[in-house]
Amino acid sequence: MPIDTARFRQDVYSIVAAVPYGRVLTYGQVALLAGYPNHSRLVGRLLCGATASAQLPCHRVVNAQGRPAPVWQEQRLLLEAEGVPFKPNGSVDMHLAQWNYLSLLDLA
DNA sequence: AGTTTGACTGGAG
DNA sequence: CCTCCAGCCAAAC
């Protein structure tokens, strides 16, 4: 089953745009929610071209280890400014910051 | 049309 | 915790 790139891109944007302030998602999670589990790299590709768009909080997307993009140091500053919990080694504390359906309970 | 690339991932050392 | 490696797959070259 081939991938619907146009729809995939649209879904990725919608998902990322829905991430609450101070919360993060992983590339794999976005790909999964968009309906294509093994396309985490494609998510990264799309967001790379979306950095210019201030409408999209693409800085709230990190890799599965909670590590920000090595080639984009500004991302860490943006996250810290939102109060995202970082561990001493420089990676996000995913246990606290990752956005999932359970996180919806905290927003109440 | 074939090869290389990468804002990924999970596991191994 | 760190780096390295193989698997991954559409996009870019």
Looking at chain A, how many residues does it have?
Answer: 108
* Distance from residue A31's CA to nucleotide C8's C1', rounded to whole Å: 13
From the Cβ of A43, is strand B under 7 Å away? yes
What is the distance between the alpha carbons of residues A15 and A36, in angstroms, rounded to a whole number?
Answer: 13
Those nucleotides of strand B lying less than 7 Å from any protein Cβ are: 6-10
pTM, whole model, 2 decimals?
0.93
From the Cβ of A39, is strand B under 7 Å away? no
From the Cβ of A42, is strand B under 7 Å away? yes
**Angle at CA A83, nearest 5°, toward A24 and A86?**
70
Which residue has better confidence, A53 or A62?
A: A62
Question: Which residue, counting CA atoms, is nearest to the C1' of nucleotide C7?
Answer: A38
What is the distance between the alpha carbons of residues A11 and A14, in angstroms, rounded to a whole number?
Answer: 5
Tens digits of residue pLDDT in A17-56: 999 999 999 999 999 999 999 999 999 999 998 887 778 9
Measured N-to-C along each axis, helices A27-34 and A40-48 cross at an angle, to the nearest 10 degrees, of 100
What is the distance between the alpha carbons of residues A11 and A106, in angstroms, rounded to a whole number?
Answer: 24
Instruction: Find which nucleotide's C1' atom is closest to A2's CA.
Output: C10
Share of chain A above pLDDT 90, in %: 82
